[in-house]
Amino acid sequence: MAKHIIGRVDEIAILKERFLSDSSEFIAVTGRRRVGKTFLINAYFEDEMSFHFSGVLNAPIQQQLQNFHYQMGNYFKNPTDQAPPTNWFDAFFSLSKRLSKIRKKEKKIVFIDEVPWLDTHKSNFLSALEWFWNVWAIDNNVLLIICGSATSWMINKVVNNKGGLHNRLTQRLHLLPFTLKETVEFLRFRNIRLSTHQIAQLYMTFGGIPHYLNEIKTGESALQSIERICFSKNGLLVNEFDNLYRALFKNSELHLKVVFALSNKSRGLTRKELLVACELSDGGAFTTILEELLWCNFITASVGFGKNKKDSLYRLTDEYSLFYLNFMHKKTFVNWTQLASSQKWKSWTGYAFENICFKHISEIKKLLGIEGVFTQIFSFRSKGNQEDSGSQIDLIIDRNDGIINLCEIKFHDAIYSLSKEEAKNIQRKMAVFKADTKTRKTIFPTLITAFDAVNNENYLGLIQQAISLENIIK
């Protein structure tokens, strides 16, 4: 039934289950732009589709209905010289009549892509979709799949619908970017084989977004690919940033205020600090902005150890957004190759590697041998005083077996050697953490590096557990 699909194991299992169920199913597929929503549905069902139609951005209702009519002709041999439907109720009524003539026991699969673009002003599209599902599809063994990148619309109009579609969804699929391991699999499938360090640089720039990764060519280094895709005149990502946020969010300028504020604070900001930085008022509207950015995985929120959720620390963790705002936005560089060897790039890769670790907690837990142990993930920030300069620990794994992993994350282009000064800094962080939190649990200083670490005198007797990026990718 399906073409070769990288990853998406859980999503494919759900699609299969819903396809084989004894009742009609209504699935909403969400996820950020370019993450592969349409590809997944088309590739998995391939020739099984009963009807597939996609909305067109900024097209008037007449054009949308005309396109719907053309697709009816493609799927049902409907003469295209007949007049197209004049409204969405007529369109869905006509679709139901055509689907009724299909004689097969399997589900009739109806896939409507880019649904938010169809819900134009006074179009009554959503009301017609409600009618199609509630009056006809629900009783006729239909697998209805709707999809859209516009997160605000999908959440408000479908997932949290208060009208005729309230609680009608039988499944929601939210697609995440590829993991590091899936990224390696994707590139190898395209005959691109690079070192762990090269893969890490690509992931730091493009994240696990399949459409971006698909631009990488064989025979290019990571830096060559980044230069061509991000900085050349016709590079795919040269103008992607503004389009990305506009496609996802209504009033995206407010979301961008948050993103810009967080891009200037690598260690993150609390909600109160964000409100000040963005010059916005507190309330439900601001909460919605944060929720939508979290939903699309642009930002992450980590609760401080011993703190309440309201004191969460927000960080910008979308790889492309971070790269764009650090290196593409102001375009102050002269030569990309020179910039990539600068201290600014090295500092940025260290922060970007921390974000990679945040997104691969399950893999890290497995490597630490605690896959089956209940854990909570925290951060820790001590502002310090006149006697103490303060401390920040970005990744804390609090385990219910009496252990806390304090993770020290280091990105280097070679085997890592813990220096005497760095060892002292880790010991100081441990002391500050114990004093501030009064924890009685055993502390395991844990090292996460790009390559393996040398077991030198600074390492031995201090580091309890260590893993590398190479282990995460395997």
Residue 48: phi and psi, rounded to 5, are -85, -5
SS3 assignment for 17-38: HHHCCCCCEEEEEECCCCCCHH
pLDDT of residue 179: 95
Q: For the purposes of burial, counting CB atoms within 10 Å of the CB of 417, is it exposed (0-12), middle (13-18) or buried (19 or more)?
A: middle
Residue 134 tokens, joined: 């509630």
Please name the residues in contact with 205: beta carbons below 8 A apart, sequence gap of 6 or more: 222, 226, 230, 319, 320, 323
Band (pLDDT 50/70/90 cuts) for residue 389 is: low
Per-residue pLDDT of 226-244, as tens digits, reads: 999 998 889 999 999 988 9
> Do the beta carbons of residue 457 and residue 421 sit within 8 Å?
no
Q: Judge whether residue 3 has pLDDT over 90.
A: no
- Rounded CA gap, 113 and 116, in Å? 9
The predicted model gives 194-211 an average pLDDT of 94
Q: Residue 98, CB half-sphere, CA atoms under 13 Å: how many?
A: 20
pLDDT at 141 over 90: yes
Of 24, 23, 51, 14, residue with least CA distance to 142: 24
Tell me the three state secondary structure of residue 273: helix
* The predicted structure's pLDDT at residue 332: 56
pLDDT over 80 (residue 447): yes
Q: Is the pLDDT of residue 334 over 60?
A: no
pLDDT surpasses 70 at 126 = yes
Confidence of residue 385 (pLDDT cuts 50, 70, 90): low
Whether 360 shows a pLDDT value over 90: the answer reads: yes
Q: Report how far apart, in Å, the C-alpha atoms of 35 and of each of 16, 25, 30, 57, 125 are.
A: 20, 23, 10, 18, 25
Confidence of residue 65 (pLDDT cuts 50, 70, 90): very high
412 pLDDT tier (thresholds 50, 70, 90): confident
Alpha helices in 159-251 (DSSP H): 180-189, 196-206, 210-213, 222-231, 240-248
Stated pTM of the model: 0.90
| Residue range 272-299: mean pLDDT, rounded | 91
Residue type at 165 in one-letter notation: L
Q: What percentage of the chain carries pLDDT values higher than 70?
A: 96
Residue 2 pLDDT grade (very low, low, confident, very high; cuts 50, 70, 90): low
Average predicted confidence (pLDDT) for the chain: 89
C-beta atoms surrounding 303 within 10 Å: 17
Cβ partners under 8 Å of residue 222, min gap 6: 194, 198, 199, 201, 202, 205
- CA–CA gap between residue 90 and residue 65 (Å, rounded): 10
Is the predicted pLDDT of residue 421 greater than 60, yes or no? yes
Instruction: State which amino acid sits at residue 234.
Output: N
- Confidence (pLDDT) at 72: 92
All residues at 6 or more sequence positions from 218 whose CB lies less than 8 Å from its CB, including other chains: 190, 191, 192
Copy the structure tokens of residue 140. Answer: 């006729």
Q: Does 386 score more than 70 pLDDT?
A: no
Average of per-residue pLDDT across 300-328: 87
Distance CA 387, CA 107 (A): 70
Mean pLDDT of 342-359: 88
Q: Two tokens at 1?
A: 């039934």
Q: How much is the average pLDDT of 79-102?
A: 88
pLDDT (tens digit per residue) in 299-311 = 998 887 877 777 7
Angle between helices 240-248 and 252-263 (to 10 degrees): 130
- 284-291: average pLDDT: 91
